[in-house]
Amino acid sequence: MDILVKPMVTEKMTAQTEKLNRFGFIVDRRASKVQIKAAVEQMYEVKVTAVNTLVTAAKVKSRYTKSGVQKGKTSSYKKAFITLAEGQTIDFYSNI
């Protein structure tokens, strides 16, 4: 099971990174906080002090087209907010 799917790089997460030393990740829905902590510490070689998670529910979407109303839904996913120890950071752009 690949625990970390991708990092969340948004304006809100960038502000939290600068202010609270907190980083966001999209993670596998079945992953626990302990597994997420171990995966981040192993991949980025940092010390994690806290892990907060939440599951974003699927949303029903519809749009009007020439052929009628198209209905569908977005997928649900799990977010993890990682707080690092003082003085540590993660550079997402180092391996680009």
Residue 55 pLDDT:
97
Domain range summary for the chain, segments of one domain joined by +: 4-60+72-84
List per-block mean pLDDT (blocks of 10 residues) for the chain, which spans 96 residues.
Answer: 91 93 96 96 94 96 95 96 94 73
The domain made up of 4-60+72-84 has a fold known as: Alpha-Beta Plaits (3.30.70)
Residue 32 pLDDT:
96
pTM for the full predicted model: 0.85
Which residue has tokens 């950071």? 89
Residue 94 pLDDT:
72
